[in-house]
Structure 1
């Protein structure tokens, strides 16, 4: 996934990736208008990335779950591709709240932080995220 790919470079990248048999997932910012979503998602393949937060990668704070639910609904209306979310999913509890809204959850920074500060805690944290993402441990249903 090329995160900061300018719109005017999208077609060129997607053609090169297709020639190399690579998927071209697309990060879609929440501020995109509904009228732009079909065009922005048209050349994407593999999945669409819907950031859980509008903050930068590594964000550690509350998430606007209703706004994420609305956004993922907009993406699903624009494209049949799976929707993946990350950015700001800093705790297992947040992962459990986001998981019913999307097809996959990306957990990165919390594990990298654990590895950098206290590597011995990384396995337990990884297990906690895995447990939070197990369907039987959440009570919400997919939106």
Structure 2
């Protein structure tokens, strides 16, 4: 018996596994509407990655059908980037996205340290930390909880009591 693999089947697999949403990066435009419909039919959100170089004229098409959030990479470099970030460019881009859509803006890519996470957090609704934790799991698994905790601490708002301590 041959398994049927299509967007409807894939959406059902994710929903059955308990996913809240699935962001498909580099989804061909001719598949976007079908994926959105399939995901929506099973209760999945369909966030969209919006490249910083997206022209204003293309923005409505890029964010059409997005639900859940818009993903604004903190860097224009590939996933796993560990260099400096242009925080002002990210701030400008997130403002641009907020003007184009009511969806929350989430950022990742290039947020390689807790200090960078703390600088990005005020600009967005959520920060995605992936590669630093994965790298640590591969190189020194025992340190992964410590690293994850340091990111969590950097992202937690500081209270007045903590600043006095």
TM, length-normalised to structure 2: 0.80
| Superposition deviation, residue 4 in structure 1 | 1.1
- 3-state SS, counterpart of residue 90 of structure 1: coil
| 2:138 maps to 1:116 | yes
Q: 1:65 aligns with which of 81, 87, 95?
A: 87
Name 1:32's counterpart in structure 2.
54
Name 2:73's counterpart in structure 1: 51
Segments of 4+ moved more than 4 angstroms: none
Q: What are structure 1's unaligned runs of at least 5 residues?
A: 138-143
How many aligned residue pairs are there? 137
Kindly indicate whether structure 1 or structure 2 has the higher relative contact order, using CA contacts under 8 Å at least 6 residues apart. 1
Match of 2:148 in 1: 126
Cα distance, 1:23 vs structure 2: 0.7
Are 1:101 and 2:101 counterparts? no
The correspondence for 2:112, drawn from 86, 90, 97, is 90
- Structure 1 counterpart of 2:37, from 4, 11, 15: 15
Deviates more, 1:72-81 or 1:115-124: 115-124
- In our comparison, the structure showing a higher alpha carbon Rg is 2
Q: Deviations over 1:70-127 (max 9, x none)?
A: 1101100000001100000000000000000000000000001111111121111111
RMSD: 1.1
Structure-2 separation of matches of 1:41 and 1:99? 22
What's the CA shift for 1:29? 0.4
Cα displacement (A) at 1:39: 2.7
Q: Report the TM-score, using the length of structure 1 for normalisation.
A: 0.91
Q: Secondary structure at 1:135's aligned position in 2?
A: coil
